[in-house]
Amino acid sequence: MKNYKLPKVPENVSAIFNDICSVMAALCKEKLSDEYFHLGVELATKIARKRVSPFLSGYTKTWAGGIIHAIGFANFLFDKSQPVHLTSKELCEWFDLGQSTISVKSKSIREMFKIHQMDPKWCLPSKVLDNPYVWLIAFDGCIVDVRNAPYEMQLAAYEAGVIPFIPDQK
């Protein structure tokens, strides 16, 4: 989060966007990780750049809480078996907001971007290798886990942009 340059967003929401990112940075520094912060900024950027930005209504910390909750939902943040985890209650207490407030905002964000659990687009980089949705591809009508496929198939999938990297080379 140090020396992290925030992306450009429309001028009419840039102050709100910067405030939301500051709140997320504080939470991620204290309780989560840089990965959550970076994905949170990416999601906040998408929200800010919508034609009529939803950021123009609502409170900064509600948006920040909803964004982190949505990213956490996709990455099992609320599962105690995960190395980085928080309960939903702890997250809400940190923001000093009710659980229903953050849950409703998170749900609206997840619906806006069709975010689901283990969503490859919103997966933490440290979890990509273990996320089966990233690696299952259709090949000649069959679903194949490309991590177990021959190198040539992995290379073809990578060059086609279907997988983010060749697993053995990561």
- Would you say 166 and 155 are in contact if contact means Cβ atoms under 8 Å apart? yes
3-state secondary structure of 136: strand
Domain boundary among 119, 142, 157: 119
pTM confidence score: 0.87
User: Do 164 and 98 share a domain, yes or no?
Assistant: no
Q: Residue 58 is part of which domain span? A: 11-119
Answer with the residue of higher pLDDT: 46 or 83: 46
User: Do 81 and 15 share a domain, yes or no?
Assistant: yes
User: Do 92 and 17 share a domain, yes or no?
Assistant: yes
Residue 92: inside a domain: yes
Q: Which of 109, 134, 113, 112 is nearest to 123 (CA)?
A: 134
Spatial separation of the C-alpha atoms in residues 25 and 156, rounded to whole Å: 38
56-60-61-62 Cα dihedral, nearest 10 degrees: -10
- Would you say 39 and 122 are in contact if contact means Cβ atoms under 8 Å apart? yes
User: Do 50 and 80 share a domain, yes or no?
Assistant: yes
Residue 138: inside a domain: yes
- Would you say 22 and 49 are in contact if contact means Cβ atoms under 8 Å apart? no
CATH number (domain holding residue 29): 1.10.472.10
Helices and strands in the chain: count of H runs, count of E runs:
7, 2
Q: What is the pLDDT of residues 94-134, one digit of tens each?
A: 999 999 999 999 999 999 999 999 999 999 999 988 888 88
Q: What is the number of domains present in the chain?
A: 2
Spatial separation of the C-alpha atoms in residues 154 and 170, rounded to whole Å: 13
User: Do 92 and 37 share a domain, yes or no?
Assistant: yes
- Would you say 105 and 61 are in contact if contact means Cβ atoms under 8 Å apart? no
User: Do 109 and 162 share a domain, yes or no?
Assistant: no
User: Do 91 and 150 share a domain, yes or no?
Assistant: no
User: Do 28 and 69 share a domain, yes or no?
Assistant: yes
Q: What is the pLDDT of residues 142-168, one digit of tens each?
A: 898 989 888 988 888 889 988 888 887
Residue 125: inside a domain: no
Percent residues over pLDDT 70 in the chain: 97
